[in-house]
């Protein structure tokens, strides 16, 4: 079977069984990350395999297939895989659309110099999860690992368009990770890559709305809260991370009307957005966290 047919998942073999990479035909809306390069990339199968195998012990049998003919034209089409993971690669020696890049770069938390380099990028590679892992979060971890490998091959920044966020790809490359790099990726703050944290200035509304994006893709609700000003960003970033940490625990859930203590003196109640808060709607589940007093906590 041709690479193109297996890229499209026309036959289900499963991961890298049979020494061939085959995309999972049952994934209709695959998770994706986008990786930016400052200069036109030079990627080939041998170079990618070496980088994969050196990244983590679980990738010791990693494989890579790239369409050589398209590669001569500056277009990357191929797959990488290890274990049950398969990742489609689609790349172009051309920049991504400006609006898409700005949406992800502007709200993110890293130096302006790197943001400017990201905006001036000249090539990009899109990573689509196409493997057989059941957990959406672990699919993202596999994509983050693939981005980290590309970070070792010259990439600058990794975007998550669905979450409206981005981060330096060097963080995922593993050079500074202490211990197991895969465990590092699993423990990586959700709001720095797997979900996004955005401050919204709404015309006619005092203060600032803080909210997440992309959390439903990893089976969590998006969260929002109304803050007094931008200076409260770190507080709400930490609050949302803590709530997500709770929700990822066994059997944990939140329903409308539930309350939670989030600090020594901080309490919130969760509700749906009101009719006047239609600017929060994006089609996914979202809970608004309103501050309440200790006397209002559910007992």
Q: Which two tokens stand for residue 62?
A: 């990693």
16-55, pLDDT tens digit by residue? 545 689 999 999 889 999 999 999 988 889 999 999 999 9
- CB distance 103 to 198 below 8 Å: no
Q: Work out the percent of the chain whose per-residue pLDDT is above 90.
A: 77
Q: What's residue 204's pLDDT?
A: 87
What is the overall mean pLDDT for the chain? 91
9 and 156 together in one domain: yes
CA distance readout (Å), 183 to 84, 131, 170, 188, 264: 17, 20, 16, 8, 30
**Are 140 and 263 within one domain?**
no
pLDDT at 112 over 90: yes
Distance CA 207, CA 48 (A): 47
CA distance 55 to 61: 12
Q: Answer yes or no: do 151 and 287 share one domain.
A: no
**3-state DSSP helix/strand/coil percent for the chain, to nearest 5?**
35, 25, 40
Confidence category of residue 9, pLDDT binned at 50, 70, 90 = confident
pLDDT of amino acid 17: 47
The residue-averaged pLDDT of 247-258 equals: 91
Question: Are 175 and 221 within one domain?
Answer: no
User: Domain end: 134, 168, 192, which one?
Assistant: 192
Domain end: 135, 157, 192, which one?
Answer: 192
Confidence (pLDDT) at 176: 67
Does the structure show a pLDDT above 60 at 13? Answer: no
Range(s) of the domain holding residue 254: 196-296
Q: How many domains does the chain have?
A: 2
Q: Does 110 lie in the same domain as 223? A: no
How does residue 103 score in pLDDT terms, banded at 50, 70 and 90?
very high
From residue 55, give the alpha-carbon distance in Å to each of 82, 153, 167. 12, 12, 19
Question: Residue 74's pLDDT is what?
Answer: 76
Q: 179 with 206, same domain?
A: no
Tell me the three-class secondary structure of 47-93, residue by residue: HHHHHHHHHCHHHCCCEEEECHHHHHCCEEEEEEEECCEEEEEEEEC
Is the pLDDT reported for residue 150 higher than 70? yes
Q: State residue 167's pLDDT score.
A: 96
């Amino acid at each position: 079977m041709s690479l193109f047919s297996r890229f499209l998942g026309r036959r289900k073999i499963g991961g890298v069984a049979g020494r061939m990479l085959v995309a999972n035909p049952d994934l209709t809306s695959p998770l994706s990350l986008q990786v930016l390069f400052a200069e036109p990339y030079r990627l080939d199968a041998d170079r990618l395999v070496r980088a994969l195998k050196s990244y983590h012990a679980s990738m010791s049998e990693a494989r890579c297939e790239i369409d050589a003919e398209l590669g001569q034209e500056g277009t990357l089409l191929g797959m990488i895989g290890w274990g049950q993971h398969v990742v489609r690669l689609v790349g172009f020696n051309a920049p991504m659309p400006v609006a898409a890049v700005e949406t992800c770069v502007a709200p993110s938390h890293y130096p302006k110099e790197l943001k400017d380099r990201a905006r001036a990028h000249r090539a990009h590679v899109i990573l689509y999860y196409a493997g057989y892992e059941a957990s959406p979060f672990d699919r993202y971890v596999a994509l983050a690992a693939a981005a980290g490998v590309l970070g070792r091959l010259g990439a600058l920044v990794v975007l998550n368009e669905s979450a409206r966020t981005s981060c330096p790809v060097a963080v995922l490359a593993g050079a500074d990770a202490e211990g197991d790099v895969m465990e590092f990726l699993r423990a990586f703050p959700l709001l720095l890559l797997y979900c996004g944290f955005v401050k919204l200035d709404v015309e006619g509304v005092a203060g600032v709305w803080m909210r997440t994006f992309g959390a439903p893709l990893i089976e969590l609700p998006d969260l929002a809260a109304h803050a007094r000003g931008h200076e409260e960003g770190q507080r709400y970033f930490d609050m949302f991370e803590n709530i997500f940490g709770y929700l990822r625990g066994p059997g944990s859930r939140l329903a409308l009307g539930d309350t939670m203590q989030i600090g020594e003196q901080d309490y919130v109640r969760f509700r749906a957005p009101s009719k006047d808060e239609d600017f929060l709607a994006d089609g996914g589940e979202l809970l608004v966290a309103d501050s309440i007093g200790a006397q209002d906590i559910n007992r």
